Amino acid sequence: MLTRTALLVALALPLTSSCQGAYYSGLEAFGIHKRDVFVDRVEDARDAQADAKEAFVSTLAAFRAVSDFDGGSVEDLYQDLDERYRDCASRAAAVDSRIDGVTSVSKALFEEWETEISEISDAGLRSMSQQRLDQARGRYSSLVTAMRAAESRMQPVLTAFKDRVLFLKHDLNAQAIASLAGTLGEIEIDVDQLIGEMESAIAEADALIATIGN
């Protein structure tokens, strides 16, 4: 029999709207509710942001190290930068997918929550549940805004990384390395801003998880 954890992993990706009802019904048969899926996906999105942040920081550090090139293998230097750029691109794509996963389940969760609030006969409990829902929606909106803001800054940085990798690929010599080192200031500010956006998104994810989980 599938465990609860295995089900969450196996069914983590969003489906088309026509399959949503059966999808969530199947999960609930195993005691996994939309809230569980939502929190799980927010955690995945947060972790994807953290992974991407690490990759961008590491890649920028590698480009900064170009200025310390001491006559070793230019080919090895190029290969390292190319691998780091590709890793950044892959992790950026994962962030986009994870955000889509969060937005996919959020609509179903909040609609169900709203419907079930109307079924609470006790006015006090109904009011408290509505407050929790409003708070969760507000946190969710802040999360998506923060994550999309960070995502929008990723592509310009990836483009800058790619430009430099391709430049070096076709000019594997010390002069090209010196030219590359001279352009680093152009992307350092963009990367620093990106890291700030990512840290904000991670903080928003933690705040939303705390709101939903408590």
pLDDT, tens only, 188-209: 999 999 999 999 999 999 999 9
Q: What's the whole-number mean pLDDT along residues 7-22?
A: 53
Give the side-chain half-sphere CA count within 13 A for 92. Answer: 22
Domain boundaries, the chain: 24-213
Query: If you average pLDDT over each of 63-77, 175-189, 199-213, which comes out highest?
Result: 199-213
- Of the two residues 12 and 149, the one the predictor is more confident about is 149
Amino acid making up residue 74: V
- pLDDT level of residue 214 (50, 70, 90 thresholds): low
In this prediction, residue 47 carries a pLDDT of 96
83-88-89-94 Cα dihedral, nearest 10 degrees: 130
Is the per-residue pLDDT at 10 higher than 50? no
Amino acid making up residue 15: L
Amino acid making up residue 132: R
pTM: 0.81
Give 43's contacts (C-beta < 8 A, 6+ positions apart).
Answer: 205, 209
Mean pLDDT value across the chain: 86
DSSP-based three-state secondary structure for 61? helix
Phi, psi torsion values for 58, nearest 5 degrees: -65, -40
In this prediction, residue 175 carries a pLDDT of 83
Q: What's the whole-number mean pLDDT along residues 175-189?
A: 85
pLDDT, tens only, 43-66: 999 999 999 999 999 999 988 888
Per-position b or e across 70-89, b if 16+ CB within 10 A of its CB = eeeebeebbeebbebbbbbb
For residue 32, give both structure tokens: 């996994």
Query: What is the separation of C-alpha 112 from the centre of its chain, rounded to a whole number of angstroms?
Result: 25
Q: What's the whole-number mean pLDDT along residues 131-144?
A: 93
